[in-house]
Structure 1
Amino acid sequence: MLPERIALALSAMLGWFAREALRIRRVDVDRHLTMAFPMSEQSWRVRVARGSYCHIVREAAMTLRLSNMGSEEVMKRTTMEGFEDLRRIVEQGQGVVLISGHLGNWEIGGAALAARGIPMDVITHLQRNPFFEEYLAETRERLGLNVIVKNEAFRLVPTSLASGRAVTFVADQNLQRRGVFVDFFGHLAATAKGPALFALRGSTPVFFGFALRLPGWPSR
């Protein structure tokens, strides 16, 4: 495996190449940035888009490197804010609905909570690539994350919450047919209703959490 600094630099370059040369989803990204920030200059939106591509591929590389990290390493390289309320509720034996999004590195965020003793379940989609799915499942399990496949969530989540676990939903994707439409940057967006329904059913506390990269080195 490449040294981390080199791997992250190459990943950022690959992200730039994915946008500028391969043009992967470039039209969609540019359109969404224009919808969200219509008053911003085009040059600013281009910089944000390029940075987003570099960030996504760089964080994908960090996710792959999780296979070589243990809980101690994860704890050493993460800092928690607003964690004590979550810990207190879980220590009282109460379940928690934890909502995150595709912002920062959600895999590291889940691993950081599990490393600090939070019993974690994560709701996931099966990956199209079976080898990558197997890698993710093994890495998550080794880091203390229990996986619930989305089509089993209706049956398993109530039991998890009742047993005092934190159930995590990465709930920022467009559901199209089954979502609830809410205003988002002045546009209607189909939003997942599952986390709210599970929370309402059991009067379960809801937390929002994100894992954002900190400036400096080593990567944290």
Structure 2
Amino acid sequence: MDRLIYYVLLLPISRLPFFVLYGISDVLYLIVYRILRYRRTVVRNNLTCSFPNKKASEILEIERSFYRHLGDMIVESIKNFTISETDSNKRMRIVNPELLDQYFDSGKNVILVGGHYNSWELFALAVPGQIRHSPMALYSPLNNKFWNEKITSSRSKYGLQMLRIDAVLQKMKTLKDQQIAVIFGSDQSPRKSQLVHFTKFLNQETAVAYGAERMARELDMPIIAGSNIKVSRGHYKVVFNLISDNHKDLRKGEITKAFTRQLEKDILSAPQYWLWSHKRWKHCEAEHQPDRLIR
């Protein structure tokens, strides 16, 4: 069934022109939001808790805009199976790649952090051709081997390296012949077994995975946040913002807090483009083992 869905449904759809795909997106909005009511309770609760001072009408407006954007994300993700490298670079532009050049020239690896905001999938395709570092994205394998292979193959087809998150530190210590940009997604709900730092995010105490900061400290890597901005339908730009390149005088958790603040700033500027359907606030501080908390 998985092969049937991929080869008979998704691949033909992915070859359609964008104007047709956005017509499909408009229909998906009606189906997902109006008929299936996909995760509407989760989205409404997330928005209400994140914006307690907004009126119900304002929350509803963001909610509807989010589901329209979600339709675009669905069809754009399908399109990414067959999109050309040229087209992906036209639709996702890095505004200031030169911020990384000083670290490349001095032989330093860097860490890029971002969130599930706007088109993170398109960034994965476009980043190899726009920075001098070799980009490496961390991921947790899917249980379904077929979809795990198809998705990782799609993301890596233009030069992005995909590395299991549980093998990254060991891998980084063995790399000597290339400068790497390690990409972390910083806004998913971490597992209880992960090291976390709790910080205020969108009006709520939030567990943020400590992995990016841990790597930055252990391997002396500059850490840079990418702000993903929607320019128009199907077109995006990313602006890099330096979080820290000298960590020794910073207390534990300060780096994590800083890039979380940057993501929050991006979300507040246009909240409809964040992944509100994700169950972000599943855990409270009391649920985490004391030795897993970074204070």
TM-score by length of 1: 0.88
The one-letter code sitting in structure 2 at the alignment partner of 1:186 is N
Cα distance in 2 for partners of 1:56, 1:128 equals 24
Alignment partner, residue 41 of structure 2: 27
Q: Give the structure 1 partner of residue 231 of structure 2.
A: 214
Partner in structure 2 of residue 137 of structure 1: 152
> What pairs with 1:110-189 in structure 2 (closer than 5 Å)?
110-116=124-130, 117-160=132-175, 163-175=178-190, 177=192, 178=194, 179-189=196-206
Aligned to 1:75: 89
Number of residue pairs the alignment of both structures matches = 219
Structure 1 residues 48 and 13: CA distance shift in structure 2, 3 A: farther
Q: Which runs of 5+ in 1 are unaligned?
A: none
2:50 aligns with 36
- Counterpart CA distance in 2 for 1:180 and 1:207 is 18
RMSD: 2.2
What do residues 1-55 of structure 1 show as CA deviations (whole Å, max 9, x unaligned)? 3221121231243134212221222111101111111111111111211221221
Q: AA paired with 1:205?
A: P
Is the aligned partner of 1:88 residue 2:88?
no
Separation in structure 1 between the aligned mates of residue 172 and residue 31 of structure 2, nearest angstrom: 40
2:70 paired with 1:52? no
Report the TM-score when normalising by structure 2.
0.67
Distance in structure 2 (CA, Å) of the matches to 1:158 and 1:38: 45
Determine which structure has more spread, i.e. the larger CA radius of gyration: 2
**Cα deviation digits, residues 168-212 of structure 1 (max 9, x gap):** 011101115232211113321110100000001122101111433
Q: Specify the alignment match of 2:27 in structure 1.
A: 13
Distance 1:88 1:52, change over 3 A: same
Determine the C-alpha separation between the residues in 2 that align with 1:147 and 1:190. 25
**Counterpart Cα distance in 2 of 1:90 and 1:77:** 25
Q: CA deviation at 1:219?
A: 4.2
Cα distance in 2, alignment partners of residues 162 and 182 from structure 1: 37
Structure 2 unaligned blocks of 5 or more: 1-14, 237-295
Moved more, 76-85 or 183-192: 76-85
Supply the AA of the counterpart residue of 2:33. Answer: R
1:129: Cα distance to partner?
Answer: 4.0
SS of the residue corresponding to residue 127 of structure 1 reads coil
The structural deviation recorded for 1:119 is 0.7
Structure 1 position 146, deviation (Å) = 0.5
Q: 1:34 to 1:66 in 2, by over 3 A?
A: same
Change (3 A) 1:29 1:23: same
Identity of aligned residues (%): 22
